[in-house]
């Protein structure tokens, strides 16, 4: 996909030219990272360094943003209002959302979408070259939304086109980008974050080198950790580096037991996500006998919302069917939509064709897969963490908007809204506003518990992925979590990493420790955290596991 015409390219410093200092370092080039960098530049901060682990080509960004198919949710229709979007988000979150964060998300979201359109994103329904006009944007319905409010670009290419528009805007703004640079650690001086330690790939295949960049402020936008699981929708770079680095530095984390699984991932030799929007258009789920198990009153898996129930409900139903069929996939039947599928979902249509499927005539075999971590580094609505000098936005952050189950298509919106807010707060701090971090107790409604698990186990990645998928994936119980904890505790400690893979493996091992610790601390089922042994457990709702590393 090409960038919009007239776009510039960001300056790409060579590894030998990595600056020793920047006013602000933003780590990550998904929607949150690029929005934060642009927000800083727009507010007059010239000395911004944008860091990405992937190669920067001036056309597409990094992280999971470009992989997003479904769209971005925002109130733009006359038949919709912010209160309804808030209510839908809170309902999907199963009582574990932060109401103020949800209010901010839904209230400020439409304005951030207009800004994104002004930065070059052509949403479906808009006229090319015309001023951004939300009333012209086509709106779709997705699961757990009470109104059609999901906006798309290029059918199912919303994430890719969002990424391309932001990359072009970063280039036009002249923001320098340091690519192929992996976050190893945060620099902490006198109790505040003062920069980043990076492993930067050498030019033309030369060895990577360790580099330190000091900064007055660091914004983490490093995404999730889907590679912690053997089945995931996430790109290869989603290894939890930001979360792990923040934990080692002393940040507070919360809601890490809440991992969302996507219910419809194609069970093909090369798996791919089949967007929620396909079910929003009318596709249905069937078992191998053709029974529509979410809608058939005789089915024990039936739900009054059928295929448009929240993701955790649909994912568990699909998993139950797969188990009942001895591992054979469930079937996503979109054949009633016929040729409409090719124009509405051109990307998915191409992936089906590559897999030898004609989904206009035959159903797509599907299974659940790890999709989105709703917990993360705990922040307030300004993006501040418990560590002075550190802000976080996007999937790496736990803002409180998702609670126990993210409402479909709220993730891109979260990145836009809270990254811009973080940028605004960083500017205020650089201008002299109080720079302290947020007190840990303010970030979570549960008691902050100090946890002595700063180290990472050295377990081969494939083995770790299989263990976490089996014991901390869709279905959990005390026995499985204890088995996982013992496997992690029994592994040798990871040494100081010298390569990108070693940094990533250390990050994944630490993320596994934090996941199991949080899951063990919530004995009841709530949203995406489903305990098969939860009978009789008292629900705690928003009284969440909030963890802080115990000082050694």
Q: What is the pLDDT of residues 105-148, one digit of tens each?
A: 999 999 999 999 999 999 999 999 999 999 999 999 888 899 99
**Residue 489 CA to chain centroid, in angstroms?**
28
Most confident among 7-21, 449-463, 481-495 (mean pLDDT): 481-495
Examine the residue annotation and report whether 531 is marked as an active-site residue of this protein. Answer: no
| Packing angle, helices 411-430 and 158-173, rounded to 10 | 20
**What average pLDDT does range 454-458 have in this prediction?**
79
Q: Given a cut of 60, is residue 102 above it in pLDDT?
A: yes
Q: Count CA atoms within 13 Å of residue 412 on its CB side.
A: 29
H or E stretch at 514: helix 500-520
Q: What is the mean pLDDT of the chain?
A: 92
Q: What structural domains does the chain harbor?
A: 1-258+374-445 (3.50.50.60), 267-368 (3.90.700.10), 446-549 (1.20.58.100)
pLDDT of residue 442: 66
Coil vs helix vs strand at 422: helix
Radius of gyration of the chain (CA): 22
Q: Given a cut of 80, is residue 225 above it in pLDDT?
A: yes
- Torsion 482-184-391-550 (CA) sign: positive
pLDDT of residue 2: 31
Write the DSSP symbol of residue 321.
H
Pairing of strands 252-254, 376-378: antiparallel
pLDDT of residue 3: 34
Q: What is the pLDDT of residues 343-380, one digit of tens each?
A: 999 999 999 999 999 999 999 999 999 999 999 999 99
Residues 6+ apart with CB under 8 A from 51: 25, 26, 27, 28, 177, 178, 181, 183, 196, 198, 213
**What average pLDDT does range 310-321 have in this prediction?**
93
Least confident of 220-229, 270-279, 501-510: 270-279
Instruction: Check if the beta carbon of residue 211 is closer than 8 Å to that of residue 198.
Output: yes
**What average pLDDT does range 168-187 have in this prediction?**
97
Q: Which ranges constitute the DSSP H helices of 43-92?
A: 82-92
pLDDT of residue 34: 98
Q: Given a cut of 90, is residue 6 above it in pLDDT?
A: no
Confidence of residue 247 (pLDDT cuts 50, 70, 90): very high
pTM, full prediction: 0.93
Catalytic entry in 311, 384, 476, 531 = 311
Q: What is the pLDDT of residues 196-223, one digit of tens each?
A: 999 999 887 788 999 999 999 999 999 9
**What average pLDDT does range 80-108 have in this prediction?**
96
Instruction: Check if the beta carbon of residue 28 is closer than 8 Å to that of residue 5.
Output: no
Q: What is the dihedral of CA 89, 95, 98, 103, to 10 degrees?
A: 30
Q: What is the dihedral of CA 295, 301, 305, 308, to 10 degrees?
A: -90
């Amino acid at each position: 996909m090409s960038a919009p015409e007239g776009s510039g390219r960001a300056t790409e410093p060579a590894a030998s030219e990595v600056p020793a200092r920047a006013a602000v370092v933003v780590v990550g080039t998904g929607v949150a990272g690029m929005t934060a960098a642009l927000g800083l530049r727009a507010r007059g901060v010239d000395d911004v360094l944008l860091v990405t682990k992937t190669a920067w080509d001036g056309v597409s960004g990094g992280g999971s943003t470009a992989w997003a198919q479904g769209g971005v949710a925002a109130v733009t229709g006359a038949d919709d209002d912010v209160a309804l979007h808030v209510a839908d988000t809170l309902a999907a979150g199963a009582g574990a959302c932060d109401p103020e964060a949800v209010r901010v998300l839904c209230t400020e979201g439409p304005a951030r979408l207009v800004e994104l359109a002004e930065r070059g994103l052509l949403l479906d329904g808009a006229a090319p070259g015309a001023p951004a006009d939300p009333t012209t944007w086509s709106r779709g319905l997705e699961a757990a939304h009470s109104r059609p409010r999901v906006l798309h670009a290029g059918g199912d290419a919303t994430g890719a086109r969002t990424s391309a528009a932001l990359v072009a805007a970063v280039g036009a703004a002249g923001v320098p980008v340091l690519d192929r640079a992996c976050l190893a650690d945060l620099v902490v001086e006198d109790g505040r974050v003062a920069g980043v330690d990076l492993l930067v790939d050498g030019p033309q295949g030369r060895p990577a080198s360790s580099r330190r960049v000091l900064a007055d402020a660091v914004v983490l936008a490093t995404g999730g950790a889907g590679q912690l699981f053997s089945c995931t929708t996430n790109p290869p770079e989603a290894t939890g580096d930001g979360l792990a680095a923040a934990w080692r530095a002393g940040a507070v984390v919360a809601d890490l037991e809440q991992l969302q699984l996507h219910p419809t991932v194609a069970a093909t030799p090369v798996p791919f996500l089949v967007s929620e929007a396909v079910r929003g258009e009318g596709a249905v789920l069937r078992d191998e006998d053709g029974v529509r198990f979410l809608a058939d009153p005789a089915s024990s898996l039936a739900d009054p919302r059928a295929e448009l129930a929240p993701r955790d409900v649909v994912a568990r139903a699909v998993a139950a069917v797969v188990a009942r069929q001895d591992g054979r996939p469930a079937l996503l039947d979109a054949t009633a939509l016929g040729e409409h599928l090719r124009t509405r979902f051109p990307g998915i249509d191409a992936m089906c064709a590559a897999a030898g499927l004609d989904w206009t005539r035959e159903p797509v075999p599907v299974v659940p897969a790890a999709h989105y971590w709703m917990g993360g580094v705990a922040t307030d609505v300004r993006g501040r963490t418990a560590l002075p000098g550190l802000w976080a936005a996007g999937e790496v952050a736990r803002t409180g908007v998702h609670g126990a189950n993210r409402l479909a298509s709220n993730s891109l919106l979260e990145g836009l809204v809270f990254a811009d807010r973080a940028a605004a707060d960083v500017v205020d701090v650089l201008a002299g506003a109080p720079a302290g971090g947020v007190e840990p107790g303010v970030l979570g409604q549960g008691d902050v518990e100090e946890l002595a698990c700063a180290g990472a186990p050295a377990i081969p990645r494939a083995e770790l992925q299989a263990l976490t998928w089996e014991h901390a994936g869709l279905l959990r119980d005390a026995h499985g979590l204890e088995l996982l904890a013992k496997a992690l505790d029994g592994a040798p400690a990871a040494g100081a990493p010298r390569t990108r893979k070693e940094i990533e493996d250390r990050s994944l091992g630490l993320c596994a420790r934090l996941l199991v610790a949080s899951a063990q601390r919530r004995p009841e089922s709530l949203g995406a955290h489903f305990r098969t042994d939860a009978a009789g457990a008292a629900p705690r709702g928003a009284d969440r596991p909030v963890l802080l590393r115990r000082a050694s």
